[in-house]
Chain A
């Protein structure tokens, strides 16, 4: 009677060792090196030194407004909610009077020689170096206004407004944004729902109402501040005379 053959369990490491032994390598060469110290960025005992994760980006669909994330370099993005194929390219507007609609998840730049006279521009970031006299500009992330821009701030819809270094604006009325980053010069009444920050080369004048304020060393601030507290009705009431009354000392 033939003897029953016992099925042996296949051991991968043992198989590799056997193959290497057959190839003439010493046993010591086959054994894995002891994990004496953790490799940089890795776990002790792990052969993997460091895991590189792709960069994650946040997007807001310009059609349905759904916010989602993507990882890595993606050429075409489809909104998970409305299934619309979204444009991710960056654009620089050309022409003296731009009046067309544009929607992209990238960055739109308005160069100094261009002026937006109409249309709706929807992008993640918008950089304004030229004119914005008509239409509407919507940025899901931020609008940066650089020196030399001619901007009607009422036509900007964004959560974060950045006044770039070198830019200087004097406005009548009130600017309302979620956050304001002043790196240049701004003279206006400002209301932010999140934060106002003034950079080292920044200058801010006017009235500022925000829950948080950050002023860096070297900034110039000459303003009435309501930071972290809501203004009372009496203190917030404007003076009766136009142009305000001279400060008495």
Chain B
């Protein structure tokens, strides 16, 4: 699904700006959220998070376009588009992702467009170089520090 299709297509489910929903949402058709959702969102098609929208919960959809705020993990089967006004606090996992300048994103990203490299597969061959100017003991990989599942 292309990003243009996500924005151009009319979402069959719409949560207006003055609406607040507490609880999980599950739908097959596309959904457009302009209000507040306190709960998980599961959508088989595309999910569009508007600029004024606030989602506190995990999002799982075919494709996700975010203009607003999401506090939770985002998992998309196809792609995630984070627009300039997006604020995401959580992990993102998808095949393809675009991030525009100005996005606030705190979490772990797992974007693998090729899909060829599974976890644990060695990284591309390269000479290991000594530490740069600020030697750090930070580990490169570790558990998700948000602990959300």
Contact = CB atoms under 8 A, between A and B. Distances in A.
Nearest to B108: A224
Q: Which bucket holds chain B's interface residue count?
A: 35 or more
Given A170-B128, A207-B138, A221 B111 contact: yes
A105 B103 CA distance: 35
Nearest to B105: A227
B9 interface: no
Given A171-B128, A189-B136, A244 B142 contact: yes
A171 B123 contact: no
Interface string B83-122: 0000100000000111111111111111111100100000
A173 B139 contact: no
Contacts, number: 154
B112 A238 contact: no
Contacts of A207: 138, 140
A51 B75 CA distance: 53
B127 to A, nearest CB: 6
Nearest to A214: B101
A7 interface: no
Contacts of B102: 212, 228
Given A154-B131, A168-B126, A217-B98, A173 B108 contact: no
A168 B132 contact: no
A154 B134 CA distance: 8
- Report whether over half of chain A's contact residues are helix, strand or loop; otherwise say mixed: strand
A120 B40 CA distance: 57
B142 A218 contact: no
Q: Which of A174, A225, A247 has the most CB of B within 10 A?
A: A225
Given A154-B131, A174-B132, A228-B105, A189 B110 contact: no
11 contacts: A170-B126, A170-B129, A213-B99, A219-B111, A225-B105, A227-B105, A228-B105, A238-B138, A244-B142, A247-B142, A247-B143
Given A206-B140, A247-B143, 15 more contacts: A154-B133, A168-B125, A169-B127, A185-B124, A187-B140, A214-B100, A216-B98, A220-B112, A224-B107, A224-B109, A224-B145, A227-B104, A239-B139, A239-B142, A239-B143
